[in-house]
């Protein structure tokens, strides 16, 4: 699992945002799907949109791409208002939807060339773009077989190509790896990583896979029942949520109570608890680790390893869910 500290920013938030939303709101008969979303995504950034089923991720993508109108609030994508300039906007954005939306009766090549022609490319350029992308996505051998025989992974790659034919500046990817096997997932993640580093392309990635989000995203936004819970760089979010640094200490077995007590009384230690392998401590910062080690050694413990464990994106996500559940007085994971 990628920890949140080792992801170097791809770009610094500067200049005009590629995407901005102010109070963006959309209701369906079942209730509010998106409740006053304020969000900014900067050019060249990958933003991961996270949240449980029904949180409003797909609704956000549809609003920002102008295929759904807001009930309140507004947004700008590449300087355009999706609600009124959606047609123009969609020439500059690409979308991979939850359902790939390919025509099963056509071959991969026919699907792609048709889309390229609709996008306004002449026949020759349409064929050229299609061939280039089929090759890049390792689908050349599948190009002339009807899509109905394609696997889930091949469909996803085809759908990704289709979203890329017109070289969009902003790419919305709604669950690009759902249903893929581990190898196909790894390939698609690598492709998205490569796409993100091209031409300052901005990517909004909706996903349930926190490892994927941790690897690809510069910033994350967590939605829950239409409300934005938190947005920012994972390391910054973690720093706001937890002031201490969790550390695993390997003592070759559970720490006896006297050793736990010794750790607890060391400078900078906030909590200390025995674990099957030794002891888990939370310290104010890395600087306190030597004190922890000398306290443990002083109490007669053999210290085999001391491993700071900064919170992962998974830790952040589940902590947010747990805090919401606690506020609502229900068990974690039960959403209604
Ligand atoms: N076209 C629609 N008609 C009615 N209700 C809708 C429609 N689209 C979304 N909703 C509702 O809006 C809420 C948010 O849905 P949305 O699809 O945005 O969630 P999501 O975060 O993408 O979830 P998932 O992880 O399951 O894809 C849900 O309660 C959903 O039932
Ligand atoms: Mg969705």
pLDDT in tens, 72-99: 999 999 999 999 999 999 999 999 987 7
pLDDT in tens, 207-231: 999 999 999 999 999 999 999 999 9
Give the pLDDT band (50/70/90) at residue 334.
low
**Is the pLDDT higher at 257 or at 138?**
257
Ligand with the closest atom to the CA of 50: 1
Q: Cα(174) to centroid of ligand 1, in Å?
A: 12
Candidates 1.10.3720.10, 1.10.260.40, 3.40.50.300, 3.30.420.40; CATH matching 19-239 = 3.40.50.300
C-beta 30 within 6 A of ligand 1: yes
Give the pLDDT band (50/70/90) at residue 332.
low
pLDDT in tens, 22-51: 999 999 999 999 999 999 999 999 999 999
Topology match between the domains 19-239 and 243-308: no
Q: Cα(199) to centroid of ligand 1, in Å?
A: 32
Q: Cα(28) to centroid of ligand 1, in Å?
A: 9
Q: Whose CA is nearest to atom 6 of ligand 1?
A: 28
Give the pLDDT band (50/70/90) at residue 333.
low
Ligand with the closest atom to the CA of 59: 1
Q: Cα(207) to centroid of ligand 2, in Å?
A: 8
> Residue ranges per domain, the chain?
19-239, 243-308
Over 90: is that where the pLDDT of 5 sits? Answer: no
C-beta 256 within 6 A of ligand 1: no
pTM: 0.85
- Tell me what the mean pLDDT of segment 297-314 comes to: 94
Ligand 1 atom at minimum distance from 223 CA = 21
pLDDT score for 283 = 95
Three-class secondary structure assignment of the chain: CCECCCCCCCCCCCCCCCEEEEEEEEEECCEEEEEEEEEEECCCCEEEEECCCCCCHHHHHHHHCCCCCCCEEEEEECCECCCCCHHHHHCCEEEECCCCCCCCCCEHHHHHHHHHHHCCCCHHHHHHHHHHHHHHCCCHHHCCCEHHHCCHHHHHHHHHHHHHCCCCCEEEEECCCCCCCHHHHHHHHHHHHHHHCCCCCEEEEECCCHHHHHHHCCEEEEEECCEEEEEECHHHHHHHHCCCEEEEEECCCCCCHHHHHHHHCCCCEEEEEEECCEEEEEECCHHHHHHHHHHHHHCCCCCCEEEECCCEHHHHHHHHHHHHHHHHCCCCCCCC
Candidates 1.20.1740, 3.90.1150, 3.40.50, 3.30.70; CATH matching 243-308 = 3.30.70
């Amino acid at each position: 699992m990628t920890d949140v500290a080792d992801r170097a920013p791809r770009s610094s938030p500067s200049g005009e945002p590629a995407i901005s939303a102010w109070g963006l709101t959309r209701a369906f008969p079942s209730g509010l799907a998106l409740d006053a979303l304020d969000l900014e995504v900067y050019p060249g950034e990958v933003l991961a949109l996270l949240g449980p089923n029904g949180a409003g991720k797909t609704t956000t993508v549809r609003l920002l791409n102008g295929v759904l109108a807001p009930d309140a609030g507004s947004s700008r994508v590449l300087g355009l208002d999706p609600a009124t300039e959606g047609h123009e906007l969609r020439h500059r954005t690409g979308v991979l939807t939850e359902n790939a939306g390919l025509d099963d009766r056509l071959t991969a090549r026919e699907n792609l060339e048709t889309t390229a022609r609709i996008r306004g490319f002449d026949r020759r350029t349409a064929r050229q773009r299609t061939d280039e992308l089929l090759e890049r996505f390792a689908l050349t051998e599948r190009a002339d077989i009807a899509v109905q025989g394609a696997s889930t992974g091949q469909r996803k790659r085809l759908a990704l190509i289709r979203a890329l034919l017109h070289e969009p500046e902003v790419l919305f990817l709604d669950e690009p790896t759902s249903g893929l096997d581990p190898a196909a997932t790894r390939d698609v993640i690598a492709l998205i990583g490569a796409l993100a580093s091209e031409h300052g392309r901005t990517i909004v990635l909706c996903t349930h896979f926190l490892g994927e989000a941790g690897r690809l995203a510069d910033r994350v936004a967590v939605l829950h029942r239409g409300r934005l819970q938190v947005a920012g760089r994972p390391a910054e979010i973690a720093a706001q949520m937890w002031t201490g640094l969790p550390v695993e200490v390997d003592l070759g077995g559970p720490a006896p109570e006297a050793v736990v007590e010794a750790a607890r009384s060391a400078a900078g230690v906030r909590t200390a608890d025995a674990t099957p392998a030794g002891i888990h401590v939370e310290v104010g910062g890395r600087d306190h680790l030597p004190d922890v080690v000398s306290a443990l050694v002083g109490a007669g413990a053999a210290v085999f390893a001391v491993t700071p464990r900064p919170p992962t994106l998974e830790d952040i996500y589940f902590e947010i869910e747990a805090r919401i559940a606690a506020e609502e007085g229900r068990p974690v994971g039960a959403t209604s």
